[in-house]
Structure 1
Amino acid sequence: MTQDLKNMALVITGAASGIGRAVAIEAAQQGVRQILATDLNAEGLASLSDTLKGRAEVSYVVTNLAEPEAAQQIAESARAAFGRIDGLVNAAGITTRASVVDGTAADFDTIFAVNTRAPFLLMQEAIKDMKNREASGVIVNIQSMNAHCGPPELALYAASKGALQTLTKNAANAHLRDGIRVNGINLGWVRTEAEHNMQANILGHGADWEKEAGRKLPLGRLVSSEETARSTLFLLSPASAPMTGVNLDLEQSVTGAPNAGIG
């Protein structure tokens, strides 16, 4: 059986804001007492630690997932703080716009470094730790509905998430007998600080972009980080066992249905 939440030493990437932060808060609410949070944003990590004070022991490391050495640094920090890694949530990611026509080699390398290579190396570190201890464990990768195709301007982002989706299934299959479960969540359009900055400022859609976008969706709004976090904690918990190798579509449409919108 995968580790109970209350006894889990959990690593969360992208934890300073957005989905990663929401996962950390939900994890503490559901009983996780040891959290290793990582992000580029030191101020955000310190804020998270303050928020969870008294509810969970939070250790954090500021690092850049674009660097290959980051995964080992994070794993070593988790072992130094808690002695082990029982759970991993790869929530960090970048949504740089790049199409098949205008994407550059640099775009490709940067997007894949953060969205695919970093989760791969972190899964590698976590699984090695679990196997060395002959312990069960659980991994959840935050992916994207764009893995099914994606719009033209997100070609490289979609490809990076498609690759992560395949890695999720491959790792799950490889470690079935080790008691290590690996699942992913293909997210639709989620309201995060990073998405707000992208839509409002970088793409120039203005401060009210979310209201306009929501009007076109079945729920009248975007999916929230908190909803994503609850699904993530379900996959981390023993309640979802023996589920493994599953890539859960969390979107306001049914994949493959006529006129299904991919977020």
Structure 2
Amino acid sequence: MDVTLSGKILLVTGSTQGVGEKVARLAIASGAAGVLITGRSAERGEALASELGTDACPVEFIAADLADPAAPELIAASAVSAFGRIDCLVNSAGLTDRASLLDGTPALWERLFAVNARAPFFLMQHAVADMISRRAPGSIVNILSVNAHCGAPDLSIYSASKGALSTLTRNVAHAHLPDRIRCNGINMGWATTPGEHKMQGETLGKGAGWVEEAAAGMPLKRLLTDDEVAQLTIFLLSDQSGLMTGTLIDMEQAVLGAPPRRVAN
């Protein structure tokens, strides 16, 4: 099956590293006509846009912090200004700060919900408004987390924010079926993203060997990769995913509702 985004204009958040960057790279290789990338680091973003952009697929960068309520409108307006439209939106940016029920703070709640739920909501609002104004179909993919189902005790607020975006994914899919706008989500399992390397290796003090140690305890003896998430994202954005909408895919080494499996050493 030939998965293509031929002629599509993409807006990808969190796209200066990790899953978002891999989505941008793969979109270009899949025939996209233009990509707007965004992140907090102007230096990284401008360098990446210069590296990735081609005559066939220009890449534009806009620096923005999704904790800022004004960021979604700025980002969406930049995409429309640069390329004339938004055909596909990927909400990949997210914060994974730890906090349990007992040590969570109002400030952390506000920060996580601002980036993980509020910003995607308003980015979807602006993207869908553009699609409807042109009477054009569109596709949205939200990068979620298996923690949206429940989450570890120290991911209480993070899990709640991803749970909110999970519900929004289905709500948007249902609301805009008549507009031919599809919206799907990927519940990522434990993955070797740059952010997770920093969290596990530095913040939690597990050092450089944390990946091997974690992989040893997984059923398939490895962790998910951001390349795999990007490949599924491109498929869901593409016409090849057909009528799929409101779908939340668990990309994890477990089956929801099944009893835990014991992993042999």
* Percent identity (aligned): 51
Aligned partner letter, 2:136: A
Tell me which amino acid in the other structure corresponds to 1:29.
A
Correspondence for 1:40: 40
Q: Which residue of 1 aligns with 2:27?
A: 27
**Which is worse superposed, 148-157 or 47-56?**
47-56
| Alpha-carbon spacing, 1:142–1:77, altered in 2? closer, same or farther (3 Å) | same
Distance in 1, Cα, partners of 2:177 & 2:190: 31
2:240 maps to 239
How much has 1:6 moved relative to structure 2?
A: 1.3
TM-score by length of structure 1 reads 0.96
Q: Which amino acid aligns with 1:146?
A: N
For 1:51, the equivalent position in structure 2 comes to 51
CA distance in 2, matches of 1:172, 1:143: 15
Question: By how many angstroms is 1:175 displaced?
Answer: 0.3
Task: Compute the displacement of 1:100 (Å).
Answer: 0.8
Deviation at 1:31, TM superposition (A): 1.0
Whichever residue aligns with residue 45 of structure 1, its letter is G
Which residue number in structure 1 is paired with residue 127 of structure 2?
A: 126
Task: Provide the rounded CA distance (Å) in 2 between the counterparts of 1:107 and 1:53.
Answer: 36
Moved more, 48-57 or 27-36: 48-57
Deviation at 1:254, TM superposition (A): 1.1
Cα shift at 1:256? 1.2
Paired with 1:51 and 1:228, the residues of 2 have a C-alpha distance of 22
Deviation at residue 260 of structure 1 after TM alignment: 5.9
Structure 2 residue runs without a partner (length 5+)? none
Query: Partner residue of 1:138?
Result: 139
Which residue does the alignment assign to 1:81?
Answer: 82
Deviation at 1:249, TM superposition (A): 0.6
Q: Residues of 2 paired with 1:44 and 1:16: CA distance? A: 6
Structure 1: distance between partners of 2:175 and 2:48: 34
Partner of 2:168: 167
Q: Which residue of 1 aligns with 2:67?
A: 66
In the TM superposition, residue 46 of structure 1 has moved relative to its aligned partner by 2.3
> Is the CA contact 1:254–1:260 (under 8 Å) kept in the aligned structure 2?
no
CA contact (8 A) 1:111 1:160 kept: yes
Q: Which moved more, 1:215-224 or 1:237-246?
A: 215-224
Map of 2:191 onto structure 1: 190
SS in structure 2 of the partner of residue 106 of structure 1: helix
Rounded Cα–Cα distance in structure 2 between residues aligned with 1:12 and 1:247: 19
Uncovered stretches (5+) of structure 1, i.e. residues with no partner: none
Q: What amino acid is the match of 2:52?
A: L
SS in 1 for 2:163: helix
**1:56 CA drift (Å):** 2.3
1:98 aligns with 2:99: yes
Q: Distance in 1 between matches of 2:205 and 2:33?
A: 41
Deviation at 1:242, TM superposition (A): 0.5
Deviation at 1:219, TM superposition (A): 2.1
Distance (whole Å) between structure 2 residues aligned to residue 254 and residue 31 of structure 1: 34
**TM-superposed deviation, 1:41:** 1.6
Q: How many pairs does the alignment contain? A: 258
Partners of 1:218 and 1:50 in 2: CA distance: 40
| Structure 1 stretches of 4+ moved >3 Å | none
Question: TM-score scaled by structure 2?
Answer: 0.95
